[in-house]
Amino acid sequence: MEEPGEGWRRPRAKRGEGERLRTEILEAASELLIKTGDEASVSVRAVAQAVGVTAPSIYLHFQDRAQLLIAVCQRQYEQLDEFIQARVNAVGDPLEQLKARARAYIEFGVEHPEHYRVLFMNKTARVVDLAGGGRQASETGFHRLVDNVQRAIAAGAIRHRDTLFVSTAMWSLVHGVVALAVTLPHYPQGTTLDELVDYVLGVWVDGVATVA
């Protein structure tokens, strides 16, 4: 934070630099989401105050609060995608890639719990809006999984033939782990998350190799 608390007022941007505020708003909203851990706390007024600007200024760059939140998620979604790809690309074997993908997804979710909530656990999960508006960025995530499953099937590591079907099942599995982890304070009880993930993925790859 360079700004000193409540009364701070951001210096006005030079001409032509109006877009800078947009970025600052997005960053402040994202920070606020992390800090408060609650989507409801990311109000137009709170974001404006964090940036050091009055509330109506937000509307210079976003149509309304909903669009602001979608934009926040768009960014986060892209970061999730990058994070996963970096991990996956470090591995060669399709099945190992699938496991690396799952681990990366879980790690990212656990480390950005409130963003994960907004993206995948909200009543109308933001990932859906993303699929509407910024189709490209949004669909990549799941389709990369589908591709990965495809390669794993081709390599003989997965028996079932419908890639979409297997991908959906696998997403459900990892989502369950993340969703409980970001929700229950004492999860997982009596063990570590890593151990649990090892076990779950172990069971999964074993079963998926033989079940049709």
Do residues 60 and 72 lie in contact, with contact meaning Cβ atoms separated by under 8 Å? no
Q: 30-89: which residues touch its own copies (CB under 8 A)? A: 37-38
Residue with Cβ nearer DNA (19 or 206): 19
Question: In angstroms, how far is the first alpha carbon of the chain from the final one?
Answer: 54
Residue with Cβ nearer its own copies (18 or 37): 37
Q: Binder to its own copies among 61, 65, 75, 175 (CB under 8 A)?
A: 175
Alpha-carbon distance of 42 to 30, in angstroms, equals 9
Least CB distance to its own copies at residue 15 (A): 42
The interface partner of residue 122, options being DNA, its own copies, none and the CB cut-off 5 to 8 Å by kind, is its own copies
Alpha-carbon distance of 112 to 76, in angstroms, equals 9
How many residues in total does the chain contain?
A: 212
Give me the DSSP letters along 66-101: HHHHHHHHHHHHHHHHHHHHHHHHT--SHHHHHHHH
Write the CA distances from 188 to 101, 155, 167, 177, integer angstroms. Answer: 21, 33, 25, 9
Site residues for DNA per CB under 7 A: 9-10, 12-21, 41, 43-46, 53-60, 64-66
Q: Does 196 bind its own copies (CB under 8 A)?
A: yes
Q: Does 132 bind its own copies (CB under 8 A)?
A: no
> Where do contacts with its own copies occur on this chain (CB under 8 A)?
37-38, 117, 120-125, 127-128, 160, 162, 164-166, 168-169, 171-177, 179-180, 183-185, 187-191, 195-196, 199-200, 202-208, 210-211
